[in-house]
Each structure stands twice: as structure tokens, then as C-alpha cells.
Amino acid sequence: MNIRQNINVDSINFNGLGWDSYQLPSSLFDIKVDKTRQKSKTDTLKLDMWLLPFMNVYGIVGHTKGSSLSKVSVNSDPSKYPMGSMDWIIAQVVKGMHDSGQLQDLDFKLEFKGTTYGAGTTFVGGYEDWFAMVDMNYTQTRFDILDGSIDAFTLSPRVGYRFTIPAIDALHMAPSKLNVWVGSMYQDVQQEFKGSLSDLNMPSNLAGLMNIADPDGKGRFDVKQHLQSPWNVLVGAQYEITRNFNVLTEIGFAERNSFFVSGEYRF
């Protein structure tokens, strides 16, 4: 599964900065994010079973790798701190770098990878060659640069039609089936990320500033964000190559772009 989507970042906070017993206030850095585009690729193994003619259950495990690219600007307000204090001095430095353009419109790229696992169920029904299905699953992904795991819930309703493909004697192919459908996908993804600043690949100007403010590498980040749109439109197909093996593909568009391809073997 490949996904491209826009993210709205609500806030970015740095904390745990300072030297020895002296701690810088978390409000020292005012970080603004203009635009964020996220992309990811997930390779998944899925084991499923039909418990009932209308109900399928499954478990999944896989590997997710991706990145996000943001435009960020960092500023500070010295008037919030006593004149001559360490906080005031650093705020003056940050404001000067911002006003000179060194901390404006920086390309902030975040690269991540991790293990994904979860479970789900699919309910189906039909009349003659028409069918409808609703798939829902819950997954967790443990990323290398984040604390804990990221939880996600996905809901995908679809409606489609089943075609019968006649035999092709020249290719020694028996009669087969082709399912086509349209639908939509809803994603509810946990959108608060926490981790160590030392795990981030920051732009050079910002990295230099963090080396001064966080010489011991104990600084932490806290990002709150949300998907620009939780829904997108799906168009897909499933082709039965043999009685036991078929292939599936699905394309998503509108607010989220996605591409999915799968091979399926049934016992």
C-alpha cells in the first residue's frame, strides 16, 4: 500500500533543553508549520478466514516506511523573559536568525520506519451479481523515532459488480470472475508524536541552534497534527486467475492518493 496525503500540524513543542541543572522554557521556541505532505509504503502479510458466509476475520503484520516534508519557521519573543537573562539572550539570538531569514521556510524532512500489526473483519452481502462489503481494522505501528506506538482505525465501505469471464482456450484459461467496485476509505490515526530531538534529521540552521540549546542530547519533541481529510474515494478490482489464486488492485484519490496491489492464495 502506497499513500500520499496532506497533514495539518497544529503544534510543535521542544522541551528538556538546557545545560546541567538549567532548563530552558518549552515556550522559548515558537515553531510555525506552513505545509506538510506525507508519503508512506507498507508491505503486509495478511492471514484471513471466513467464519460465516458473510463474515471474514483476519490478522496482519507488516513493515511501514515513509517520510514527511514540512515548511517550518522558528522564532522567539524576548519580551517574555527578564532582560539580560539566559532565556532573553537565546530568544534574542533566535529572533535575529528568524528576522535574517535563517530560520524561515526551512525544509523539515522527517523519515520513519517501523513494524505494523493488527486485526480486522469484513462483512459482505449481495444480490445476483451485485455485492456490498464493509471492511474495518485496527492497527498499531511502532516507529523507530517515536515513543510507543501509533494507533489507527480504518473503515472502508464498497459496492461492486461481479463479471463472469469466459474461458480462453488459446491460453488454456478456464472461466473466471472479475469483481469491480467503488467505495471510500476513512482513517482515524493517532496524531500526537513524541520522541528524542537527537533522532530527527533537522535543517542545518535549526540543527546548529539545537546543538547550542541541547548540548547533552536530552531534548524532546511533541507534535500534534491531524489529517487534512480523513476520507478518500476508492476504485478497485479483483481478478480470479485460478480457483485458488487471485490478484487485487485499488486506487484512491481526492484528498488522499493511494495505490494498493495484492496477491491472494486461498486454501
At residue 83, φ and ψ (nearest 5 deg) are -60, 130
User: Cα separations (Å) of 226 from 58, 159, 189?
Assistant: 28, 28, 8
pLDDT tens profile 189-210: 887 888 998 888 888 888 888 8
Distance (Å, whole) CA 69 – CA 204:
15
Q: What is the pTM of this model?
A: 0.85
The whole-number mean pLDDT for each consecutive block of 10 residues of the chain, a chain of 267 residues, reads: 92 86 87 90 96 97 93 94 91 94 90 94 97 97 88 96 87 86 93 86 87 87 88 96 93 92 94
**Residue 80 φ then ψ, to 5°:** -80, -10
154-186 burial, b at 16+ Cβ within 10 Å, e below that, comes to: bbbbbebebeeeeeeeeeeeeebeebebebebe
CA distance 133 to 184: 11
What confidence tens digit (pLDDT) does each residue in 84-113 have? 998 999 999 999 999 999 999 998 888 899
Phi first, then psi: give them for residue 79, nearest 5 degrees. -65, -15
